[in-house]
Amino acid sequence: MPVQDNYFTPFKQSIDLYDLPQRFTFPFYYQPHPLCELAVEELQHYLETYTGWQHNFGLTGDLDTAVGKMFGVLLVETKEGEIGYLSAFSGKVADSNHHLHFVPPIFDMLQQGGFFRTGQDELAQISTQIKQLEANPDIVNYELSLSEEQVSASKEVQAHRASMILARKDRKERRTHAEATLNREDFLQIKEALSKESIQQKNQLRDLNLYWDERIQYAKSRLYSLTNGITALKKQRKVLSHSLQQQLFDNYRFLNKSGGYKNLRDIFKETAQQIPPAGAGECAAPKLLHYAFEQGMTPLAMAEFWWGESPKSEVRKHKHYYAACLGKCEPILRHMLEGISVDDNPLLNNPAEGKSIDIVYQDDVMVVINKPAEFLSVPGKSIEDSVYLRMRQSFPSATGPLIVHRLDMSTSGLMVIALNKEVHKKLQKQFINRTVKKRYVALLDGLLTEDEGLIDLPLRVDLDDRPRQLVCYDYGKQAKTKWQVIERKDNQSKVYFYPITGRTHQLRVHSAHINGLNTAIVGDDLYGQHAERLHLHAETLEITHPITGEPMQFQLDAEF
């Protein structure tokens, strides 16, 4: 394990001409400070030239085994007043938590002789025991035998019950006949005989149930003699695994500016999920801040970037900057940044302020508008201003939900608005039935080699980092997009998108994902790189008028 006294890195060049940040970076939406960009440039050069570890980032090795990583830098001021930076990576690199130049983990779960490795070894031994016991072929034989006994018992008992029903019916007929044809003494004798027959059949049923109960219990006892040990081991493994997890939560203790520690269990018990997600505390940002506070350094700004091949589910581009994830890092960083002056959250600013909505078409029952970029379709958690609010203000007598379909906040273009409930229902049905024809135009940040195609990548929300979407073949919803190149210029491609489905961020993910076009839309601050706007525009819309039934086509050229 590399041992290093100080992970502080001074800049290789003079930074006298740089202004220091006035406040710390808002970690969940930011543009890197120039000094962070300089630090990243130096760190990336280090990554390109360092040969001290063997890790396949996918830059030169086998892509099937490639594992890209998130790296981070933290601009700091030391107690002596020197400005420099710290470096960190998320998770492990080359199966290790410790590497020269990178701050150590908050808790090293891989430490030899530590409780986690010891517990993992114990869990592995239990799992091996379970696997060995489950491999006993007699288990399958005894399960089959038990099943056969249960089936046979059920058949015989059911057959006997059926015969009892027929016999009961026969006795009733004989009793009725005897009562009508015999004298009282002979009738009482027949009645007694019939009662004995009934008792006899009930006793036979009792004996039959006892017989099969004994056989089934014997079959179960043979099976349980082999499986009880497995059940006990599984219970032991579950208890040990839970205990190990709780110990981990307690040992991940995060320091803040005031010297206060808080562990994972306490941090996440105040959140909606209550239980820390997998990997919480292993990201670069908490590692960097924790080390800085331990060493008495003052954090000034931070930036994180991806290095290597993108994962198959997420969109991650080599050398691109990314915000800290909300699900894992937001509760942790909220504690760690207490008492530090942080940049304002730009997501709380109203992006629609000062913008107006142009009406493209209007009649008594519907409106077609041009939604500006960076304008919410419906009110958000903290911002009410939206297409919905503006339409409600412009058409106060309108009834119903108004919004028939949505565009992403950053997407501009055509939207149709219904002015009453009946029209809303009819228009929405057209979208649900996919009879509406839509065409988007987008500018992609690269040159596509093919001219057209179909992208079929199922999508679901990233539960750890909403609203980002993941490609997921297990739980994702079907998402299909036809595309066509219309122009190539200045290392960019202008394309038409024809979405067959309408999933959240569908066009953005299908553009940027490695198995899609692998080329992000210009200005996509979630899946690509920030620009003055997202270059995605809903250009054409073809619908049927909800009242007249006439086909309607609208086209609105993009500003880019």
Residue 462 known to be catalytic? no
Task: Give the Å distances, CA to CA, from 445 to 41, 439, 537.
Answer: 21, 19, 15
**DSSP classification of residue 452:** E
Spatial distance between the Cα atoms of 71 and 80, rounded to a whole number of angstroms: 26
Amino acid at 226: L
Closest CA to 406 of 396, 417, 397: 417
Spatial distance between the Cα atoms of 321 and 456, rounded to a whole number of angstroms: 27
Residue 301, CB-side half-sphere exposure with 13 Å CA sphere = 21
Sign of CA dihedral 18, 22, 26, 31: negative
Cβ neighbours, 10 Å, residue 235: 10
Give me the catalytic one of 62, 250, 408, 456.
Answer: 408
- Residue 277 neighbours by CB under 8 Å, 6+ apart: 327, 328, 463, 464
Strands 452-456 and 551-555: unpaired
Residue 103 DSSP SS3: coil
Secondary structure tally for the chain: helices H, strands E: 10, 18
**Nearest 5 degrees, angle CA 131-CA 134-CA 135?**
85
Amino acid at 54: Q
Distance of CA 55 to the CA centre of its chain: 26
| Strand positions, DSSP E, 372-448 | 412-418, 437-444
Closest CA to 390 of 427, 428, 417, 413: 417
Residue 415, CB-side half-sphere exposure with 13 Å CA sphere = 28
Asked whether 310 and 317 are in contact (CB, 8 A), the reply is: yes
Helix H or strand E encompassing 469: strand 469-471
Q: Per-residue DSSP letters for 251-299? A: H-EEE-TTS-EEEHHHHHTTSSS-SPPTTTT-SHHHHHHHHHHHTTPEE
How far is the first Cα of the chain from the last one, in angstroms, to the nearest whole number?
Answer: 53
**Nearest 5 degrees, angle CA 213-CA 217-CA 221?**
175
Spatial distance between the Cα atoms of 523 and 310, rounded to a whole number of angstroms: 19
- The residues annotated with a catalytic role in the active site are 408
